[in-house]
Amino acid sequence: MLAILDPTSISLALAYSYPSARGATLAKLCNVAMNNYKLALLALSVLATSCYADTVVVTADRMVDVLAGRIVDRPQITITDGRISSVATQGAPVAPDARRVDLPGMTLLPGLIDMHVHLTSDPHYSGYRHLEFTDNFWTVVGVANAKRTLEAGFTTVRNVGSRNFDDVALKQGIERGFITGPRIVPATYAIGATGGHCDQIGYPPSIRTPMDSIADGPDQLRAMVRKLHKYGAEVIKFCGTGGVLSKTDAVAAQQFNLEEMKAIVDEAHMLGLRVAVHAHGTSGIKDAIRAGVDTVEHASLADEEAFALAKQHGTYFSMDIFDDDYILGEGEKNGLFKESLDKERQIGLKQRQTFRAAFKAGVKMIFGTDAGVYPNGDNAKQFVTMVTWGMTPLQAIQAATVTAAEALGRPGDVGAIAAGRFGDLIAVAGNPLTDVSILQSVSFVMKGGTVVKQDAQHSLQ
Protein backbone atom coordinates (compact mmCIF):
# COMPACT_ATOMS: atom_id res chain seq x y z
CA MET A 1 0.00 0.00 0.00
CA LEU A 2 2.95 2.35 0.61
CA ALA A 3 3.71 2.26 -3.10
CA ILE A 4 0.57 4.22 -3.96
CA LEU A 5 1.46 7.13 -1.65
CA ASP A 6 3.54 10.02 -2.90
CA PRO A 7 6.79 10.76 -0.97
CA THR A 8 5.59 14.15 0.21
CA SER A 9 2.54 12.68 1.96
CA ILE A 10 4.66 10.04 3.65
CA SER A 11 7.03 12.78 4.81
CA LEU A 12 4.09 14.63 6.29
CA ALA A 13 3.07 11.58 8.30
CA LEU A 14 6.61 11.22 9.58
CA ALA A 15 6.80 14.90 10.44
CA TYR A 16 3.79 14.67 12.67
CA SER A 17 4.87 11.36 14.19
CA TYR A 18 8.47 12.30 14.97
CA PRO A 19 9.37 15.79 16.24
CA SER A 20 12.90 15.48 14.84
CA ALA A 21 11.43 15.48 11.33
CA ARG A 22 9.85 18.88 11.79
CA GLY A 23 11.64 22.01 10.63
CA ALA A 24 11.88 24.43 7.80
CA THR A 25 9.84 22.19 5.47
CA LEU A 26 6.89 21.87 7.89
CA ALA A 27 4.96 24.80 6.39
CA LYS A 28 5.27 23.27 2.95
CA LEU A 29 4.16 19.91 4.24
CA CYS A 30 1.15 21.44 6.01
CA ASN A 31 0.17 23.08 2.74
CA VAL A 32 0.21 19.65 1.08
CA ALA A 33 -1.89 18.30 3.94
CA MET A 34 -4.57 20.90 3.35
CA ASN A 35 -4.85 19.76 -0.25
CA ASN A 36 -4.59 16.03 0.43
CA TYR A 37 -5.74 15.53 4.02
CA LYS A 38 -7.27 12.08 3.54
CA LEU A 39 -4.16 10.77 1.83
CA ALA A 40 -1.98 12.03 4.67
CA LEU A 41 -4.14 10.29 7.24
CA LEU A 42 -3.96 7.08 5.22
CA ALA A 43 -0.18 7.33 5.14
CA LEU A 44 -0.06 7.79 8.90
CA SER A 45 -2.35 4.81 9.41
CA VAL A 46 -0.25 2.59 7.17
CA LEU A 47 2.94 3.60 8.94
CA ALA A 48 1.42 2.94 12.36
CA THR A 49 0.13 -0.47 11.28
CA SER A 50 3.45 -1.41 9.73
CA CYS A 51 5.42 -0.37 12.79
CA TYR A 52 3.26 -1.74 15.58
CA ALA A 53 0.94 -4.52 14.32
CA ASP A 54 1.49 -7.97 15.76
CA THR A 55 0.55 -10.58 13.17
CA VAL A 56 0.40 -14.35 13.53
CA VAL A 57 -0.70 -16.84 10.87
CA VAL A 58 -2.16 -20.20 11.92
CA THR A 59 -2.57 -23.14 9.54
CA ALA A 60 -3.94 -26.64 10.03
CA ASP A 61 -5.30 -29.53 7.98
CA ARG A 62 -8.94 -28.69 8.73
CA MET A 63 -11.17 -26.12 10.38
CA VAL A 64 -14.70 -26.40 11.76
CA ASP A 65 -16.70 -23.50 10.34
CA VAL A 66 -19.44 -23.29 12.95
CA LEU A 67 -21.27 -20.56 11.06
CA ALA A 68 -21.62 -22.60 7.85
CA GLY A 69 -21.78 -25.93 9.66
CA ARG A 70 -19.02 -27.65 7.71
CA ILE A 71 -15.37 -28.68 7.63
CA VAL A 72 -12.97 -26.44 5.69
CA ASP A 73 -9.73 -27.92 4.36
CA ARG A 74 -6.31 -26.25 4.57
CA PRO A 75 -7.36 -23.10 6.45
CA GLN A 76 -5.06 -20.14 6.95
CA ILE A 77 -6.06 -17.78 9.76
CA THR A 78 -4.37 -14.39 10.13
CA ILE A 79 -4.62 -12.65 13.48
CA THR A 80 -3.57 -9.02 13.82
CA ASP A 81 -3.34 -7.36 17.22
CA GLY A 82 -5.40 -10.09 18.85
CA ARG A 83 -8.29 -10.20 16.38
CA ILE A 84 -8.80 -12.28 13.26
CA SER A 85 -8.06 -10.17 10.19
CA SER A 86 -8.58 -12.84 7.53
CA VAL A 87 -9.75 -16.41 7.05
CA ALA A 88 -8.29 -17.85 3.86
CA THR A 89 -6.95 -21.00 2.25
CA GLN A 90 -3.30 -21.92 2.60
CA GLY A 91 -1.24 -20.26 -0.12
CA ALA A 92 -2.88 -16.86 0.28
CA PRO A 93 -0.45 -13.95 0.72
CA VAL A 94 1.13 -13.64 4.17
CA ALA A 95 2.78 -10.58 5.68
CA PRO A 96 6.56 -11.11 5.54
CA ASP A 97 7.06 -10.32 9.23
CA ALA A 98 4.20 -12.53 10.46
CA ARG A 99 4.83 -15.25 12.99
CA ARG A 100 3.55 -18.68 11.99
CA VAL A 101 1.94 -21.57 13.82
CA ASP A 102 1.60 -24.65 11.62
CA LEU A 103 -0.55 -27.50 12.95
CA PRO A 104 -0.28 -30.44 10.53
CA GLY A 105 -2.79 -33.20 11.14
CA MET A 106 -4.92 -30.97 13.36
CA THR A 107 -8.43 -29.54 13.20
CA LEU A 108 -9.02 -25.93 14.24
CA LEU A 109 -12.12 -24.80 16.11
CA PRO A 110 -13.14 -21.53 17.72
CA GLY A 111 -12.29 -21.22 21.38
CA LEU A 112 -15.07 -22.93 23.32
CA ILE A 113 -17.57 -21.15 25.58
CA ASP A 114 -19.02 -22.58 28.80
CA MET A 115 -22.05 -20.58 29.84
CA HIS A 116 -22.31 -21.95 33.38
CA VAL A 117 -19.22 -22.28 35.54
CA HIS A 118 -18.16 -21.65 39.13
CA LEU A 119 -14.41 -21.16 38.93
CA THR A 120 -14.06 -20.64 42.68
CA SER A 121 -15.68 -23.95 43.58
CA ASP A 122 -14.18 -27.42 44.03
CA PRO A 123 -16.45 -30.47 44.41
CA HIS A 124 -13.94 -32.28 46.59
CA TYR A 125 -14.94 -29.95 49.44
CA SER A 126 -18.70 -30.46 49.41
CA GLY A 127 -21.23 -30.34 52.22
CA TYR A 128 -19.74 -28.97 55.44
CA ARG A 129 -16.15 -29.49 54.29
CA HIS A 130 -16.00 -26.00 52.78
CA LEU A 131 -16.17 -24.55 56.31
CA GLU A 132 -12.59 -25.71 56.96
CA PHE A 133 -11.16 -22.92 54.82
CA THR A 134 -10.75 -19.16 54.92
CA ASP A 135 -12.84 -17.02 52.60
CA ASN A 136 -9.84 -16.18 50.42
CA PHE A 137 -8.96 -19.85 49.93
CA TRP A 138 -11.60 -19.95 47.22
CA THR A 139 -9.94 -17.14 45.29
CA VAL A 140 -6.80 -19.27 45.14
CA VAL A 141 -8.89 -22.21 43.95
CA GLY A 142 -10.24 -19.93 41.24
CA VAL A 143 -6.74 -19.06 40.01
CA ALA A 144 -5.94 -22.75 39.50
CA ASN A 145 -9.31 -23.50 37.92
CA ALA A 146 -9.07 -20.58 35.52
CA LYS A 147 -5.81 -21.96 34.14
CA ARG A 148 -7.19 -25.49 33.86
CA THR A 149 -10.30 -24.25 32.09
CA LEU A 150 -8.36 -22.25 29.51
CA GLU A 151 -5.95 -25.10 28.82
CA ALA A 152 -8.97 -27.37 28.28
CA GLY A 153 -9.93 -25.17 25.33
CA PHE A 154 -12.54 -22.93 26.95
CA THR A 155 -11.42 -19.42 26.12
CA THR A 156 -14.62 -17.74 27.37
CA VAL A 157 -16.77 -18.58 30.40
CA ARG A 158 -19.79 -17.10 32.11
CA ASN A 159 -19.23 -17.39 35.86
CA VAL A 160 -22.72 -17.49 37.35
CA GLY A 161 -22.07 -17.26 41.06
CA SER A 162 -19.15 -16.67 43.40
CA ARG A 163 -18.76 -14.96 46.74
CA ASN A 164 -16.69 -11.93 47.66
CA PHE A 165 -16.70 -10.74 44.03
CA ASP A 166 -14.00 -13.32 43.39
CA ASP A 167 -14.94 -13.75 39.73
CA VAL A 168 -14.39 -10.04 39.16
CA ALA A 169 -10.99 -10.35 40.85
CA LEU A 170 -10.08 -13.26 38.58
CA LYS A 171 -11.20 -11.32 35.51
CA GLN A 172 -9.12 -8.33 36.52
CA GLY A 173 -6.06 -10.48 37.25
CA ILE A 174 -6.34 -12.23 33.88
CA GLU A 175 -6.84 -9.04 31.91
CA ARG A 176 -3.82 -7.42 33.56
CA GLY A 177 -1.59 -10.42 32.99
CA PHE A 178 -1.06 -11.53 36.58
CA ILE A 179 -2.68 -14.94 36.04
CA THR A 180 -3.74 -17.15 33.14
CA GLY A 181 -7.36 -17.83 32.36
CA PRO A 182 -10.28 -17.45 29.96
CA ARG A 183 -12.34 -14.38 29.20
CA ILE A 184 -14.75 -14.15 32.13
CA VAL A 185 -18.26 -12.74 32.09
CA PRO A 186 -18.90 -12.41 35.85
CA ALA A 187 -22.23 -12.51 37.65
CA THR A 188 -20.62 -11.96 41.07
CA TYR A 189 -23.17 -13.25 43.60
CA ALA A 190 -26.27 -15.19 42.58
CA ILE A 191 -29.33 -13.40 43.96
CA GLY A 192 -31.48 -15.52 46.25
CA ALA A 193 -34.63 -15.35 48.35
CA THR A 194 -34.48 -15.72 52.12
CA GLY A 195 -34.20 -19.45 52.85
CA GLY A 196 -33.89 -20.34 49.18
CA HIS A 197 -31.34 -22.25 47.15
CA CYS A 198 -28.88 -19.33 47.22
CA ASP A 199 -29.34 -18.79 50.97
CA GLN A 200 -27.87 -22.09 52.18
CA ILE A 201 -24.74 -21.66 54.29
CA GLY A 202 -25.12 -24.51 56.77
CA TYR A 203 -25.08 -22.53 60.01
CA PRO A 204 -27.59 -22.89 62.89
CA PRO A 205 -29.85 -19.91 63.75
CA SER A 206 -27.55 -18.84 66.61
CA ILE A 207 -24.77 -18.04 64.15
CA ARG A 208 -25.70 -15.01 62.11
CA THR A 209 -23.63 -14.06 59.09
CA PRO A 210 -24.52 -11.44 56.48
CA MET A 211 -25.50 -12.75 53.07
CA ASP A 212 -24.62 -10.18 50.44
CA SER A 213 -27.04 -11.39 47.80
CA ILE A 214 -30.30 -12.18 49.63
CA ALA A 215 -33.27 -9.95 48.88
CA ASP A 216 -37.05 -10.17 48.98
CA GLY A 217 -39.67 -8.10 47.21
CA PRO A 218 -39.34 -5.99 44.06
CA ASP A 219 -37.71 -2.96 45.68
CA GLN A 220 -34.97 -4.93 47.43
CA LEU A 221 -34.33 -6.95 44.30
CA ARG A 222 -33.94 -3.88 42.09
CA ALA A 223 -31.47 -2.43 44.57
CA MET A 224 -29.56 -5.72 44.61
CA VAL A 225 -29.19 -5.74 40.83
CA ARG A 226 -27.84 -2.19 40.98
CA LYS A 227 -25.34 -3.10 43.67
CA LEU A 228 -24.00 -6.13 41.84
CA HIS A 229 -23.69 -4.12 38.64
CA LYS A 230 -21.83 -1.41 40.57
CA TYR A 231 -19.19 -3.90 41.68
CA GLY A 232 -18.57 -5.60 38.35
CA ALA A 233 -21.43 -7.92 37.39
CA GLU A 234 -21.75 -8.25 33.60
CA VAL A 235 -24.65 -10.70 33.84
CA ILE A 236 -27.26 -11.15 36.59
CA LYS A 237 -28.08 -14.60 37.93
CA PHE A 238 -30.87 -15.36 40.37
CA CYS A 239 -32.21 -18.54 41.94
CA GLY A 240 -35.83 -18.92 40.90
CA THR A 241 -36.47 -22.41 42.31
CA GLY A 242 -34.96 -24.88 44.71
CA GLY A 243 -31.81 -26.79 43.85
CA VAL A 244 -29.99 -30.08 44.22
CA LEU A 245 -26.96 -29.07 46.28
CA SER A 246 -28.87 -26.99 48.82
CA LYS A 247 -29.74 -29.11 51.84
CA THR A 248 -33.23 -28.12 52.93
CA ASP A 249 -35.27 -26.81 49.98
CA ALA A 250 -37.43 -28.74 47.53
CA VAL A 251 -35.78 -28.86 44.14
CA ALA A 252 -38.93 -27.98 42.19
CA ALA A 253 -40.32 -25.28 44.50
CA GLN A 254 -40.60 -21.76 43.11
CA GLN A 255 -38.76 -19.19 45.28
CA PHE A 256 -39.57 -15.83 43.65
CA ASN A 257 -42.99 -14.86 42.31
CA LEU A 258 -43.52 -13.38 38.86
CA GLU A 259 -43.54 -9.79 40.11
CA GLU A 260 -40.19 -10.30 41.86
CA MET A 261 -38.69 -11.98 38.80
CA LYS A 262 -39.84 -9.11 36.58
CA ALA A 263 -38.23 -6.60 38.92
CA ILE A 264 -34.87 -8.38 38.61
CA VAL A 265 -35.09 -8.78 34.84
CA ASP A 266 -36.37 -5.29 34.09
CA GLU A 267 -33.69 -3.65 36.21
CA ALA A 268 -30.92 -5.74 34.69
CA HIS A 269 -32.08 -5.13 31.14
CA MET A 270 -32.35 -1.40 31.81
CA LEU A 271 -28.67 -1.50 32.83
CA GLY A 272 -27.74 -3.44 29.69
CA LEU A 273 -27.19 -6.75 31.48
CA ARG A 274 -28.52 -10.16 30.47
CA VAL A 275 -30.17 -12.43 33.03
CA ALA A 276 -29.76 -16.11 33.88
CA VAL A 277 -32.14 -17.93 36.19
CA HIS A 278 -31.40 -21.08 38.17
CA ALA A 279 -34.62 -23.04 37.73
CA HIS A 280 -35.36 -26.74 38.01
CA GLY A 281 -39.08 -26.58 38.76
CA THR A 282 -41.76 -26.25 36.10
CA SER A 283 -43.67 -23.23 37.42
CA GLY A 284 -40.48 -21.31 38.19
CA ILE A 285 -39.13 -21.97 34.71
CA LYS A 286 -42.30 -20.67 33.07
CA ASP A 287 -42.60 -17.56 35.23
CA ALA A 288 -38.93 -16.75 34.64
CA ILE A 289 -39.46 -16.96 30.87
CA ARG A 290 -42.56 -14.77 31.17
CA ALA A 291 -40.48 -12.29 33.16
CA GLY A 292 -38.01 -12.07 30.27
CA VAL A 293 -34.91 -13.95 31.41
CA ASP A 294 -32.34 -14.59 28.70
CA THR A 295 -31.21 -18.07 29.77
CA VAL A 296 -32.68 -20.80 31.97
CA GLU A 297 -30.06 -22.79 33.86
CA HIS A 298 -30.80 -26.51 34.47
CA ALA A 299 -34.43 -26.44 33.17
CA SER A 300 -34.81 -29.97 34.52
CA LEU A 301 -38.62 -30.14 34.76
CA ALA A 302 -39.56 -27.93 31.82
CA ASP A 303 -42.68 -29.13 30.02
CA GLU A 304 -44.19 -28.57 26.58
CA GLU A 305 -45.67 -25.23 27.62
CA ALA A 306 -42.24 -24.12 28.83
CA PHE A 307 -40.74 -25.12 25.48
CA ALA A 308 -43.36 -23.06 23.65
CA LEU A 309 -42.75 -20.07 25.91
CA ALA A 310 -39.00 -20.33 25.40
CA LYS A 311 -39.42 -20.36 21.63
CA GLN A 312 -41.85 -17.45 21.79
CA HIS A 313 -39.51 -15.31 23.93
CA GLY A 314 -36.22 -16.42 22.37
CA THR A 315 -35.01 -17.88 25.67
CA TYR A 316 -32.01 -20.20 25.73
CA PHE A 317 -31.77 -23.38 27.83
CA SER A 318 -28.44 -24.13 29.52
CA MET A 319 -28.66 -27.72 30.73
CA ASP A 320 -25.82 -29.32 32.70
CA ILE A 321 -26.58 -32.91 31.82
CA PHE A 322 -23.11 -34.35 32.47
CA ASP A 323 -23.28 -33.55 36.21
CA ASP A 324 -25.45 -36.52 37.10
CA ASP A 325 -22.62 -38.96 36.38
CA TYR A 326 -20.17 -37.10 38.61
CA ILE A 327 -22.53 -36.32 41.48
CA LEU A 328 -23.76 -39.88 41.84
CA GLY A 329 -20.32 -41.37 41.25
CA GLU A 330 -18.22 -39.11 43.48
CA GLY A 331 -20.58 -37.04 45.61
CA GLU A 332 -20.74 -39.21 48.72
CA LYS A 333 -16.98 -39.47 49.17
CA ASN A 334 -16.70 -35.70 48.51
CA GLY A 335 -18.95 -35.03 51.50
CA LEU A 336 -22.11 -34.13 49.61
CA PHE A 337 -25.26 -34.05 51.74
CA LYS A 338 -27.44 -37.16 51.65
CA GLU A 339 -30.40 -34.89 50.86
CA SER A 340 -28.56 -33.63 47.77
CA LEU A 341 -27.75 -37.12 46.58
CA ASP A 342 -31.38 -38.10 46.99
CA LYS A 343 -32.53 -35.08 44.96
CA GLU A 344 -30.02 -35.85 42.22
CA ARG A 345 -31.35 -39.40 41.96
CA GLN A 346 -34.83 -37.96 41.54
CA ILE A 347 -33.95 -35.39 38.91
CA GLY A 348 -30.81 -36.42 36.99
CA LEU A 349 -32.41 -38.76 34.46
CA LYS A 350 -35.44 -36.52 34.10
CA GLN A 351 -33.20 -33.57 33.20
CA ARG A 352 -31.60 -35.55 30.39
CA GLN A 353 -34.99 -36.55 29.06
CA THR A 354 -36.05 -32.90 29.18
CA PHE A 355 -32.89 -31.93 27.30
CA ARG A 356 -33.77 -34.30 24.47
CA ALA A 357 -37.38 -33.11 24.36
CA ALA A 358 -36.48 -29.41 24.48
CA PHE A 359 -33.93 -29.75 21.70
CA LYS A 360 -36.38 -31.72 19.56
CA ALA A 361 -39.02 -29.05 20.18
CA GLY A 362 -36.70 -26.36 18.81
CA VAL A 363 -35.63 -24.57 21.99
CA LYS A 364 -32.31 -22.77 21.57
CA MET A 365 -29.69 -24.73 23.51
CA ILE A 366 -26.35 -23.48 24.85
CA PHE A 367 -23.43 -25.30 26.42
CA GLY A 368 -23.41 -24.91 30.20
CA THR A 369 -21.87 -27.46 32.52
CA ASP A 370 -22.04 -26.15 36.12
CA ALA A 371 -18.28 -26.67 36.41
CA GLY A 372 -17.39 -26.60 40.08
CA VAL A 373 -20.07 -29.22 40.75
CA TYR A 374 -17.58 -31.46 38.91
CA PRO A 375 -13.88 -30.49 38.55
CA ASN A 376 -13.24 -27.39 36.47
CA GLY A 377 -11.22 -28.30 33.40
CA ASP A 378 -13.31 -31.37 32.62
CA ASN A 379 -15.92 -29.22 30.86
CA ALA A 380 -15.60 -30.97 27.49
CA LYS A 381 -16.91 -34.24 28.92
CA GLN A 382 -20.42 -32.87 28.47
CA PHE A 383 -20.15 -32.95 24.66
CA VAL A 384 -20.49 -36.74 24.63
CA THR A 385 -23.53 -36.56 26.91
CA MET A 386 -25.20 -34.00 24.66
CA VAL A 387 -24.66 -36.21 21.63
CA THR A 388 -25.94 -39.27 23.50
CA TRP A 389 -29.14 -37.37 24.29
CA GLY A 390 -30.01 -36.13 20.83
CA MET A 391 -27.55 -33.69 19.29
CA THR A 392 -25.11 -34.27 16.47
CA PRO A 393 -21.46 -33.45 17.25
CA LEU A 394 -21.75 -30.29 15.15
CA GLN A 395 -24.85 -29.13 17.02
CA ALA A 396 -23.15 -29.71 20.37
CA ILE A 397 -20.11 -27.72 19.21
CA GLN A 398 -22.32 -24.91 17.93
CA ALA A 399 -24.00 -24.79 21.35
CA ALA A 400 -20.55 -24.05 22.81
CA THR A 401 -19.53 -21.53 20.16
CA VAL A 402 -21.79 -19.55 17.87
CA THR A 403 -25.03 -20.05 19.85
CA ALA A 404 -23.33 -19.34 23.17
CA ALA A 405 -21.85 -16.14 21.73
CA GLU A 406 -25.33 -15.04 20.69
CA ALA A 407 -26.70 -15.75 24.17
CA LEU A 408 -23.86 -13.72 25.69
CA GLY A 409 -24.65 -10.83 23.38
CA ARG A 410 -21.09 -10.90 22.04
CA PRO A 411 -21.29 -12.43 18.57
CA GLY A 412 -18.82 -9.91 17.21
CA ASP A 413 -16.12 -11.01 19.64
CA VAL A 414 -16.26 -14.75 20.23
CA GLY A 415 -17.90 -17.97 19.04
CA ALA A 416 -16.53 -18.39 15.51
CA ILE A 417 -13.37 -18.22 13.42
CA ALA A 418 -14.34 -15.12 11.49
CA ALA A 419 -12.83 -11.75 10.64
CA GLY A 420 -13.20 -9.20 13.42
CA ARG A 421 -13.56 -11.70 16.27
CA PHE A 422 -10.89 -12.40 18.85
CA GLY A 423 -8.12 -14.73 17.78
CA ASP A 424 -9.34 -17.50 20.10
CA LEU A 425 -8.54 -20.87 18.54
CA ILE A 426 -8.13 -24.46 19.67
CA ALA A 427 -6.92 -27.53 17.81
CA VAL A 428 -7.45 -31.26 18.20
CA ALA A 429 -6.08 -34.32 16.43
CA GLY A 430 -8.76 -35.84 14.23
CA ASN A 431 -12.24 -34.76 13.27
CA PRO A 432 -14.57 -33.75 16.15
CA LEU A 433 -17.58 -33.98 13.83
CA THR A 434 -17.13 -37.74 13.72
CA ASP A 435 -15.82 -38.22 17.28
CA VAL A 436 -16.79 -35.39 19.63
CA SER A 437 -14.92 -37.04 22.53
CA ILE A 438 -11.60 -35.78 21.11
CA LEU A 439 -12.54 -32.36 22.45
CA GLN A 440 -11.48 -33.77 25.82
CA SER A 441 -7.89 -33.83 24.50
CA VAL A 442 -7.15 -30.34 23.20
CA SER A 443 -3.58 -30.05 21.92
CA PHE A 444 -3.41 -26.35 21.15
CA VAL A 445 -5.02 -23.25 22.65
CA MET A 446 -4.65 -19.66 21.48
CA LYS A 447 -6.35 -16.71 23.15
CA GLY A 448 -6.28 -13.33 21.46
CA GLY A 449 -3.47 -14.40 19.15
CA THR A 450 -1.27 -15.59 22.02
CA VAL A 451 -0.42 -19.29 22.32
CA VAL A 452 -1.26 -20.53 25.82
CA LYS A 453 -0.94 -24.27 25.20
CA GLN A 454 0.90 -26.15 22.48
CA ASP A 455 2.18 -29.68 22.07
CA ALA A 456 5.91 -29.92 21.48
CA GLN A 457 5.61 -31.09 17.87
CA HIS A 458 3.74 -27.95 16.80
CA SER A 459 6.18 -25.08 17.06
CA LEU A 460 5.87 -21.32 16.65
CA GLN A 461 8.02 -20.04 13.79
271-301 residue pLDDT tens: 999 999 999 999 999 999 999 999 999 999 9
- CA dist., res. 294 & res. 357, Å (int): 20
Q: Are residues 272 and 396 in the same domain?
A: no
Question: In this structure, are 261 and 343 located in the same domain?
Answer: yes
In total, how many domains does the chain have? 3
According to the model, what pLDDT value does residue 431 have? 96
Kind of pairing between the strands at 444-447 and 450-454: antiparallel
Pairing of strands 83-89, 75-80: antiparallel
DSSP for 413-425, written as a single string: TSSSS-TTSB--E
Residue 322 maps to which CATH number? Answer: 3.20.20.140
Same domain, 130 and 256: yes
Q: What pLDDT, on the 0 to 100 scale, is given for residue 458?
A: 53
279 and 398 share a domain? no
The answer to whether 165 touches 190, Cβ cutoff 8 Å, is no
Same domain as 321, residue 410: no
> Are 169 and 296 in the same domain?
yes
In this structure, the dihedral spanned by the alpha carbons of residues 296, 301, 305 and 307, taken in order and rounded to 10 degrees, is: 50
* Alpha carbons 368 and 191: distance in angstroms, whole number: 19
The DSSP call for residue 158 is E
The three-state secondary structure class of 239 is strand
pLDDT at 94: 93
Instruction: Residue count of the chain, please give it.
Output: 461
DSSP-derived letter for residue 115 is E
- Side by side, the strands of the sheet bearing 112-117 are 112-117, 154-159, 183-186
Residue 414 lies in a domain: yes
Please report the pLDDT score of residue 52 as a whole number. Answer: 60
Q: Which domain holds residue 343?
A: 121-146+163-182+190-364
Which tens digit of pLDDT belongs to each residue from 9-38?
Answer: 444 444 444 444 444 444 444 454 444 554
Within a domain: residue 61?
Answer: yes
What is the pLDDT at residue 461? 52
Look at residue 21 in the predicted model and tell me its pLDDT: 44
Is residue 375 a part of any domain in this protein? no
Residue 178 lies in a domain: yes
Listed in order, strand segments (DSSP E) in 315-379 are 316-318, 364-366
Could you count the other beta carbons within 10 Å of the beta carbon of residue 314?
12
The residues, any chain, with a CB within 8 Å of residue 41's CB and separated by 6 or more, are none
Element containing residue 360 per DSSP (H, E): helix 338-361
- Give the span between the Cα atoms of 408 and 48, in whole angstroms: 33
Tell me what pLDDT residue 51 has. 52
222 in the same domain as 356: yes
DSSP secondary structure code for residue 190 in this structure: P
In a domain, 59, yes or no: yes
Residue 116 lies in a domain: no
Alpha carbon distance 406, 404 (integer Å): 5
| Same-domain pairing of 352 and 255 | yes
In whole angstroms, give the CA distance from residue 11 to residue 251. 72
Task: Say if 373 falls within a structural domain.
Answer: no
Q: Which of 33, 52, 71 is the last residue of a domain?
A: 52
Final residue belonging to a domain, choices 333, 364, 395: 364
Residues 311 and 245 in one domain: yes
Whether 63 is in a domain gets the answer: yes
Mean per-residue pLDDT pooled into runs of 10, the chain (461 residues): 43 45 45 48 46 87 98 98 97 93 97 98 85 89 98 98 96 98 97 87 70 92 98 98 86 96 98 98 98 98 98 98 93 87 91 98 98 97 98 98 98 98 98 98 98 75 52
The pLDDT of residue 128: 77
Domain boundary among 302, 333, 364: 364
Pair 273, 348 in one domain: yes
Tell me which residue of 284, 277, 198, 270 sits closest to 229, measured CA to CA: 270
CA 188/CA 165 separation, integer angstroms: 5
User: Exposure pattern of 169-201 as b/e (b: 16+ CB <10 Å)?
Assistant: bbbebbeeeebbbbbbbbbbbbbbbeebbbbbe
Quick one: 105 and 34 in the same domain?
Answer: no
Q: State whether 250 and 282 are in the same domain.
A: yes
